Structure 1
């Protein structure tokens, strides 16, 4: 994998526009984003969450548990968008998101303690893998553990 610092070089620029990237996905009744925007958002969130794994929990500029949940919602919206695509475009989109998915998976672990459940108890989630993984360490992990202790 071609690297630029900590991150694959191809993540450093916006995704080149392909037809499937223009497909719109509703986030809520008032907001929709294109598949390209969702892909870029997911990559951006994964990148920042990964960089902040070793940040101090006391650093108020770092992202927390709700930011992590926002990232998971972006990934969920991307997944919903896949269902709107034809088979070839869907395969192309899955290839595009795979690097970011793998990158996050290597920096997270299964949520065997149910840390996300404490934060997301009232929110609708799916059985998708991203709803069942938590960062191995860092401010997001610390905040999730604090919810569990409450």
Structure 2
């Protein structure tokens, strides 16, 4: 088992760029529970107000009430007041895919925490991304800026 508690530099990331067994994820919520299989849930982009274990988020349609005025039971959450997540963290299959995913959303926060990890493929998320639960074999932490720098250096070297 390899887990780094220090932030990898771009030079340390370079050898990981060719490892096809890794998942790449922005995991930048300081209030999130531990990065582990027990909390590996994926919820639709843009939702917030997660449950403590991260498995669900407050329904945006009924504002967590379960009912909509003059309609009855909320069709979005089936009257539960929350939207259930899918098993596995939303993750990208490569560093380039991660950069493309966030560039497409016009998000370029250099300080975002990125976790690079091995895991079990649990399925496919709503944006076509992999859903993967960490297996604990290898977990590395870095920043979005370091990933961008490592990719740029790799392209320059080619």
TM-score by length of 2: 0.21
TM-score by length of 1: 0.22
Higher helix share: 1
Higher strand share: 2
Higher Rg of the two aligned structures = 2
Q: Which has the higher contact order (CA 8 A, sep 6+)?
A: 2
